[in-house]
Structure 1
């Protein structure tokens, strides 16, 4: 609720009538006035009649519910239909997600996926569930953005500065146990829960299930799905549903 105070002039049609009355009184007063009528006399008379009024305007701002609500997060692994694993590759262009076959000790290279589940009141999703997909233990999330007039999948680093007061945890004057307890305030919010509603759609994918596999459609670009190539050691990207050369069915494993 917002209350606004506004001072408005007292001059109105009703006050104009009073003005006429005041003039009549003024005329009568002149004949009986023992001294010359001064400008201040007129001002005092008008001040007695015209009084500034304070008008209180009340405007109500309705509460707007958020478009998206985070329900919870679980950790899993994702492999495409051919059992290729998701791995993280760092290169000069940045972090990239690559699908390759892993076995034996190499399986340790497989990335855990942090899958965050949402409700959305502005999406026509029927049986689909909005999810955000991040790399477990990292602040990297899959995001779909438009580049060269075509949606592209990328790993985006989420870092949202907190407004908490910073604590110098290396300060030796602070006891060790307190430095540990206060260390968290130096961190940024590095997960999807800190992303604002208007920025969230590019991170959301509509998860639909078909027997043993799942597909992930971009919420920002309907008809475009997270996909892998038939070939090994290829980037994970987004492709249109009509492009059958790519794999868009994934196994979601605990």
Structure 2
């Protein structure tokens, strides 16, 4: 059975009266090699070595936290040198603020966006109807065509000239969400032609234009908006008139002039020189 060596024999074998011998060859006076501490290879052949016990001693590593604390203290001292005014005393609050700056957690980057969200209406095609249209002065819409261009004018048409009268192919739309108002979204096309009325901005003011459209139903909501006019009826009886307000430019209406053969255009409702009320007659 192996015997545990006496402590005194171990201490005496490694004892030295001089400090150089005690710490020579190792920072702590202890050798790191396992072979140097294997009692079987000891040249003194002492009783402890013959016990067959192998002793291994390892150095304790310095904690990384201790090093980190040291770095923090060095940084704190340097900041105190730069921030502390020599003319006033360094208080506890100064030390607290300094430590808070050192031990602050890493800031998480973020971005703040400010925006206003509005629920845009979605227009869905419902049905189409054909109408004859006249303003309150009994003027009809007529189309004047030029090479690469066309315009809509209001004329008094009689006799054979009545064939020049423009009929409107009125496409009705529903909205999502439903607003429940009395204004009905419509798109106004020229019957027999792939041309629709649109309202766009030109030189800072709304302008009525004629645009070529193959199929109004295929146009998506964003591009459709300039073709949408809000039709409202101004009286409930059989002689009711309708007005057409631009969906893009509120308070701007399709109008005709009091004069003959003038362009159909967009005006604001308070313009008394123009007519914004129209009678519609369903085409048979």
Q: What range describes the TM-score normalised by the shorter chain of this pair? A: 0.5 to 0.7
Task: Find 1:140's aligned residue among 175, 195, 206.
Answer: 195
The number of residue pairs the alignment matches comes to: 159
Q: Evaluate the alpha carbon distance shift between residue 133 and residue 125 of structure 1 in structure 2; reply closer, same or farther with a 3 A threshold.
A: farther
Deviations 1:46-66 (A, max 9, x none): xxxxxxxxxxxxxxxxxxx98
Q: Tell me the equivalent position of 2:227.
A: 203
Q: Evaluate the alpha carbon distance shift between residue 196 and residue 92 of structure 1 in structure 2; reply closer, same or farther with a 3 A threshold.
A: same
Q: How far has the Cα of 1:137 moved from its partner?
A: 1.4
SS at match of 2:257: coil
Q: TM-score, normalized by length of structure 2?
A: 0.54
Structure 2: 5+ residue stretches without partners: 1-119
Q: Tell me the equivalent position of 2:140.
A: 85
Q: Tell me the equivalent position of 2:260.
A: 232
Q: Evaluate the alpha carbon distance shift between residue 68 and residue 205 of structure 1 in structure 2; reply closer, same or farther with a 3 A threshold.
A: same
CA contact (8 A) 2:123 2:176 kept: yes
Q: Tell me the equivalent position of 2:109.
A: none
CA contact (8 A) 1:114 1:135 kept: yes
Q: How far has the Cα of 1:123 moved from its partner?
A: 7.6
CA contact (8 A) 2:121 2:177 kept: no
Deviations 1:37-90 (A, max 9, x none): xxxxxxxxxxxxxxxxxxxxxxxxxxxx98111110001111111110111101
Task: Find 2:243's aligned residue among 208, 215, 219.
Answer: 215
- Provide the aligned C-alpha RMSD in A: 1.8
2:276 is the counterpart of 1:248: yes
Which structure has the larger Rg over C-alpha atoms?
2
Map 1:148-187 to 2 at 5 A: 148-158=203-213
Q: How far has the Cα of 1:122 moved from its partner?
A: 5.5
SS at match of 2:198: strand
2:118 is the counterpart of 1:70: no
Structure 1: 5+ residue stretches without partners: 1-64, 159-189
Quick one: distance in 1 between partners of 2:177 and 2:206?
21
SS at match of 2:161: helix
Quick one: distance in 2 between partners of 1:191 and 1:83?
31
Quick one: distance in 1 between partners of 2:130 and 2:215?
14
Q: How far has the Cα of 1:227 moved from its partner?
A: 0.3
SS at match of 1:144: strand
Q: How far has the Cα of 1:125 moved from its partner?
A: 6.5
Deviations 1:125-176 (A, max 9, x none): 7110000000011110000000000000011011xxxxxxxxxxxxxxxxxx
SS at match of 1:232: coil
Q: How far has the Cα of 1:246 moved from its partner?
A: 0.5
CA contact (8 A) 1:125 1:206 kept: no
Larger RCO (CA within 8 A; separation ≥ 6)? 1
